[in-house]
Structure 1
């Protein structure tokens, strides 16, 4: 038994990084959607509300199904669901590249949402199984893969979709195909781990850094996490999908110039995600979540009013700090309910998609009715809501077997 504990304490770095790369592929495919918005507005004459509904269709499917997939996989893990999910994304991307009408675009993004819904809970479980004693690091590597994929959206728009148009999305079928191959290999390792656990008659369990809490306290803490995720997701959705129109309308930028500035925000968000997990291992999950919510507040409030040269400086800081807590909120939720790894991953990441979906529609409607600039001012207040993190239960440092 002692030997088995030692085994569980050793991180499996090749799998840890491989699932992070697959998360990069999965979220790169999703990033094609917001990257297409300026192209779709020009080529098909879509309104901001219609663009918001495209984002809604993608994210609401992922949001609603992720907790369901997580719940099912907690009861019966599904190793080969990973490549099957990527196959769904492959179908969606093919449809997106060829869709001549608005309704066909909506159907295509639903396939992408389904693929994402399957990938995220199972991918998070693989990250947990490979983590050993490096829980925060493993989750950060996994999540930074996803956030790096999302960060590619502006570059995809500027260098692929603007020159090639809608059909340029077909290039990303190669990404989906490589993802299917890699996930098949990871699934074989995943299945082997499950077989070894069954033979040794033990399950991997997550050691919690939180004190013993009542069901009511756990419920309140989860509700607070949901509020934090709501504030963060609404804000990031605005920056990813709609901030480009603010830069074009109020600063006279081209699509390419605006997308490169948004890339800075998303790239620093990916860096923040990478740092967040190890920081949380050292200084506590709650402290990192509070830091992530508090620091961006004055910067976000200033952003709509500053000159061009200051935009990049503010976006560097906002992007880094606001995404510092991305992987940490997942781990914190899993430690609140350590017996439900997949469910908590599905709930937290799924909620992020859901809030992004609703946020896209709300922001799109606001931009159509009150204007782009006024909408940016309203959205700048969202991080203030994240200060509810101050009411989260305090966690402590834990030592895992190694």
Structure 2
């Protein structure tokens, strides 16, 4: 049997192939506005469609993986996620576009709880290993605007079926990862046999903080490209560059988060990250000119340094429900941020895009307040 040490790299690259489709929905927004004349609210509705079903069904998939291991979900969900985004540009009908991205959201929802379960078993207690698994998803996000820009800018929205190609690669990588981690994939429900009690109160506080982080990330993912075009100029290329910086900074932050947590502890690193994010979001909104890109990078790092730490801390707070914890911290609280995007879009339509982004600076500070009472779980 192949060494389990191969499982994390394979899972990380497979994770990238799936999370391309979370990033692709936001990356499609400028093209939908430019080529179909969508309002800000209508464009945000596309992000909502990708997030809504994902938010609803993700805890269900997490609960199911607490009962039964379902490694087959990894390749199947990769294909479903890719098929949805691939069909998003085929029809001019707004309703069909919504349905396509909603299907993609279901695929993403099905993938994350089981993938996090398998990755945690393969990683053991290593924060660094889990940060590499999370890094894969961040790189997928970062690649999304480049992939969408290359395909849609060249062939228009009707070329969107080409966006499904990474899903096929992701499915193959998931098969290889499961072979490399056969022991992890075939363990008892929940991934491990655990002792200890669930700390629901601490988990709910953690989940609340991650929701704050999620709304900031979803809001910026939806509108930072349009905001950059308005503030800096340069057209769609400027918007794509801003979105790429938002995503690639997250990749760097995720790797740093695992190392920082190993040295300083998870909770101190998370608290400082949330505070720095609040300051950097204010910089995006208030500081004029190309400095916007520097603040986008700082926000991205601040949002993603604690990303993998959310997952492991949540799993440690709910040791008897690892799948549910994974579904919430890696999935539900990430996708639920998209539910706020239509409200931000409506506010932008009635006031300005800048005014709509100002409230995002307060949310990381609220997340910091929620994290303050938390303590490290006992082994």
Moved more, 372-381 or 137-146: 372-381
| Cα gap change, 1:15 to 1:221, in 2 (>3 Å) | same
Corresponding residue for residue 8 of structure 1:
none
Confirm or deny that 1:255 pairs with 2:254.
no
- Give 3-state SS (helix, strand or coil) of 1:308's partner: coil
| Shift in Å, 1:356 | 1.8
| Shift in Å, 1:324 | 0.7
| Shift in Å, 1:72 | 0.8
| Shift in Å, 1:194 | 5.3
Aligned length: 377
| Shift in Å, 1:337 | 1.0
Corresponding residue for residue 132 of structure 2:
141
Confirm or deny that 1:170 pairs with 2:161.
yes
Confirm or deny that 1:385 pairs with 2:363.
no
* Aligned counterparts of 2:348 and 2:194: Cα–Cα separation in 1: 44
The Cα RMSD (Å) is 2.4
TM-score (norm 1): 0.87
| Shift in Å, 1:170 | 2.0
| Shift in Å, 1:37 | 0.8
Paired residues for 1:22-41 under 5 Å: 22-41=14-33
TM-score (norm 2): 0.92
Paired residues for 1:232-243 under 5 Å: 232-243=213-224
Q: Which runs of 5+ in 1 are unaligned?
A: 1-10
Confirm or deny that 1:318 pairs with 2:310.
no
- Give 3-state SS (helix, strand or coil) of 1:295's partner: helix
| Shift in Å, 1:106 | 1.0
Q: Quick one: which of 334, 337, 343 aligns to 1:356?
A: 337
| Shift in Å, 1:299 | 2.4
* Aligned counterparts of 2:290 and 2:165: Cα–Cα separation in 1: 37
Q: Quick one: which of 52, 58, 72 aligns to 2:50?
A: 58
| Cα gap change, 1:166 to 1:291, in 2 (>3 Å) | same
The structure whose Rg is larger is 1
Contact 1:231 1:382 in 2 (8 A): yes
Q: Which runs of 5+ in 2 are unaligned?
A: none
| Shift in Å, 1:205 | 4.2
Contact 2:62 2:327 in 1 (8 A): yes
Contact 2:216 2:363 in 1 (8 A): yes
Contact 2:275 2:368 in 1 (8 A): yes
- Give 3-state SS (helix, strand or coil) of 1:46's partner: coil
- Give 3-state SS (helix, strand or coil) of 2:255's partner: helix
